[in-house]
Amino acid sequence: MEGRDLETPGGIIKDLAKRVDMEAPNEAFPSMWSFIRNLPSFTLLFLLGITKGMVFSPLTSLIMTMANSTLIAILWPIQTFWTYYCILRSEQLGWGLKLVLCLCVLPVLLLLWPEFAALGSTVGGAIYGFLSPIMATFDAAREDKPDKVFHCMYDGTWDTIKGSFLVIGDFRDVCLHSYFSTMEELLQKGNSDGGYYDIRLLDFLGGSIIGILGSVVDTPVILLIALYKCPFMLFKGWCRLFHDLISRKGPFLETICVPFAGLAILLWPLAVVGALVGSIISGIFLGAYAGVIVYQESSFWLGLCYILASISIYDDYSNDVLDMANGSCFPRPIYRKKDMQSQAKPEESQSVRSCPSLTDLVKTLILELQPLELLDRLFNECKRQGEIVVSNGLITLEDIEHAKSNNDITVISIGLPAYCILQTILRSAKADSAGLLLNDNVTEITTANRPQDVFFDWFLSPLLIIKEQIKAINLSEEEEDYLSRLVLLGDDPIRMKNSNIKLPPESKCKCAELEALARRLRGITRSISKFPTFKRRFGSLVEAVFEDIMKKNDGSRPSRHKMSKSESAIGRFLKQISLKNKTGNDETDEEPKVVIERDVESKLT
């Protein structure tokens, strides 16, 4: 019976619980002795880290506040004008939506943006400057570090200052590269069928009223629920931390972490207070979402139903987090029309619930992919593929040098990452993988083991859809090569035409499908490139690729003209204004494209 019981997930959990209870007493005394033995060194390192943090926290806060505030003050007039200009000139937005954005939304955002950015820089810089030296001090005390005394004193000092400048650089990239790229996409033409985004003014007014009402109602009720559950969170958290201390699990796994994690036991009440503050803030946005429900469902009544249901949702979610009884004492009315329709249908399919596969459960627990690990693999793949395409002549050293000079070379900044993602998709399609198979041919990203970040929610599903479309098309090697060239050189029709490539597919329908896939993949990559740290890390990658190629060529540098660094985001902004003034409203749509193609051709030559 015991063997049969272990075949179920419940039996496995019970067996693991018994093992933990059996092993805990055997390791209790060594753990406590390790705690007492490391307590003096931990106290000394902690005091040293706090001292360095108190010194560098005001400095990093001052540096980040002054730099970011100066950047905001310089760009605020330009961004204000350019935002209004792009919204008013955009063909993707209807006049109702333009009216609401220009009169209600943009004034509030543009007026609050400098204050919140400065406040965030001050608080974020202070927190970073305080915590970074502490973590660096403890990291320097690891057993594999040589000259521990020097590193305990030095680590976290100059590195913290350099880290603050990296944050400033990422903030600059967001204000320049990401912002102007988004505005440029807004100026592009809308759908070919003439469709555009608009807003229903009556539903918008009703949603605004219900959104305010939802915040007013939900915030105090959620606060009362959080206050009621704070003692449970406090004592359950302490029990879990003490259990981990005895059984050497979680943060107590490493010996050096035992005192530091013991500090977490003492500071756990602060985490409870932070959770309480987070509940108050979440109550504001959770209630305000009722306005979105009103607009989406075009129903004032369903918005009121959501206000009541959101309280039940929060109560049920907090019960799950705290391992309390499932469900909620609050009613949860239906606030979606589709849920009303599905409730009216017979629910025969719900009578039989399939048990989750134990193999999938083990895979999910063992393989936990981290976001930074995936980004590192993407950039490493870009470096490897970059050297290959340069050796094949698809990308020239002039392209890389232009990219190093911050010129807008989309073959490098967009085409190369999109090309690497395409190779991953093709590899996954050939292996008949359920997700995306990375370049080690072992690690697989699926919807089960993907990092739980909104970033991956936005981009993983579209990539999986593209993979299924490629599998359905059943491409030949020539068609795969043609699609790869389209993805890499799609924004440069001249180089695409002159590249040594076999004729495109004879079927015009197949050719149109490949072009659509290439445009979509480049669009996804362009959206990824707007996120913070991407531009900085990709710039480092381009520099590394260039240095590796120069080493392989024995330092021989091709003859080229002296490059200008004036092609910045502001330069593109001024050039677009002059281009609009030259073309005018009465000219055809083909003339600006000719001007842009000539400008691109002049850059390449």
Q: At 308, is the pLDDT very low, low, confident or very high (cuts 50, 70, 90)?
A: very high
Instruction: Provide the 10 A C-beta neighbour count for residue 514.
Output: 23
The answer to the question of residue 73 being in a domain is: yes
Domain identity same for 229 and 121: no
Q: Is the pTM of this model over 0.75?
A: no
Model confidence at 6, pLDDT cuts 50, 70, 90, reads very low
Bridge-based pairing state of the strands 444-445 and 436-437: antiparallel
Host H or E run for residue 134: helix 106-140
The whole-number average pLDDT for the span 364-373 is 46
Higher-confidence position of 520 and 365: 520
The answer, yes or no, to whether residue 117 has pLDDT greater than 70, is: yes
Residue 139 CB contacts under 8 Å (≥ 6 apart), including other chains: 145, 155
Distance CA 444, CA 377 (A): 12
One domain for residues 113 and 211: no
Please enumerate in sequence order all residues whose Cβ is within 8 A of that of 559, keeping only pairs 6 or more positions apart, or say none.
none
d(CA 487, CA 520): 9
Identify whether 449 is part of a domain. yes
Lowest mean pLDDT among 40-49, 289-298, 380-389, 470-479: 380-389
Please check whether residues 75 and 149 belong to one and the same domain.
Answer: yes
571 pLDDT higher than 90: no
Based on the domain organization, do 183 and 205 belong to the same domain? no
Q: Evaluate if residue 549 carries a pLDDT over 80.
A: no
Mean pLDDT of the chain: 75
- Per the CB < 8 A criterion, the answer to whether 160 and 60 are in contact is yes
Residue 461 tokens, joined: 């599903």
346 lies in a domain?
no
Query: Strand, helix or coil at 436?
Result: strand
In a domain, 588, yes or no: no
Q: Is 401 in the same domain as 328?
A: no
Percent of the chain with pLDDT over 70: 68
Would you state the structure tokens that stand for residue 242, as one six-digit string?
């003490």
Whether residue 589 lies inside any domain: the answer is no
DSSP secondary structure code for residue 197 in this structure: B
Q: What is the pLDDT of residue 64?
A: 95
Q: Is the model's pLDDT at 61 over the cut of 90?
A: yes
Asked if residue 538 belongs to a domain, the reply is: yes
> SS3 of 437, please?
strand
Same domain, 286 and 231: yes
CA distance 77 to 69: 13
Same domain, 98 and 65: yes
pLDDT digits (tens, 9 = 90+) for 23-53: 444 555 555 566 566 677 777 888 888 899 9
The answer to whether residues 553 and 473 belong to one domain is yes
Helix (H, G, I), strand (E, B) or coil at 331: coil
Please give the pLDDT value at position 257. 58
pLDDT at 372 over 60: no
Q: How far apart are CA 375 and CA 134, in angstroms?
A: 26
For residue 190, give every residue at least 6 positions away whose Cβ sits within 8 Å of its Cβ, in sequence order, or none: 91, 92, 196
pLDDT at res. 468: 87
Are residue 105 and residue 219 in the same domain, yes or no?
Answer: no
Dihedral over alpha carbons 93, 97, 102, 108 (to 10 degrees): -120
Which helix (DSSP H) or strand (DSSP E) does residue 262 occupy?
Answer: helix 257-266
157 pLDDT more than 50: yes
Answer whether residue 585 shows pLDDT above 80.
no
Residue that wins the pLDDT comparison between 184 and 454 = 184
Residue 590 inside a domain? The answer is: no
Do 288 and 172 lie in one domain? The reply is: no
Distance, in Å, from the CA atom of 310 to the CA atom of 312, rounded to the nearest integer, reads 5
Instruction: Report the alpha-carbon distance of residue 253 to residue 268 in Å, rounded.
Output: 19
What are the backbone dihedrals phi and psi of residue 197, each rounded to the nearest 5 degrees, phi first? -85, 130
Residue 479, domain extent: 368-567
Asked if residue 575 belongs to a domain, the reply is no
Considering 321, 340, 359, which residue would you say is the last residue of a domain? 340
**Chain centroid to CA 391: how far?**
32
Residues 209, 164 within the same domain: no
Beta bridge partners of 436: 445
Of the ranges 341-345, 375-379, 477-481, 590-594, which is most confident?
A: 477-481
Instruction: With a cut of 70, say whether residue 167 has pLDDT above it.
Output: yes
- Buried (b) or exposed (e) across 26-46, using 16+ Cβ within 10 A? eeeeebeebbeebeeebeebb
Q: Residue 140 and residue 153: Cα distance in Å, rounded?
A: 9
Q: How far apart are CA 133 and CA 55, in angstroms?
A: 10
The number of distinct structural domains making up the chain is 3
Query: Looking at residue 390, which CATH number applies to its domain?
Result: 1.10.565
- Region 104-119: mean pLDDT is 92
**CA–CA separation, 298 vs 289, rounded Å?**
14
Residue 73 has what pLDDT?
94
pLDDT at 369: 45
State pLDDT tens for residues 473-490: 888 888 888 888 888 887
> What distance, in Å, lies between the first and last C-alpha atoms of the chain?
78
Rounded CA gap, 378 and 416, in Å? Answer: 11
Q: In whole angstroms, what is the distance from residue 509 CA to residue 14 CA? A: 58
Cβ pair 129, 57 in contact under 8 A:
yes
256 pLDDT band, cuts 50/70/90, is low
User: In terms of domains, do 392 and 317 share one?
Assistant: no
Q: Please report, as a single letter, which amino acid is at residue 43.
A: T
- Rounded mean pLDDT of 340-345? 66
| Closest C-alpha to 505, from 470, 521, 481 | 481
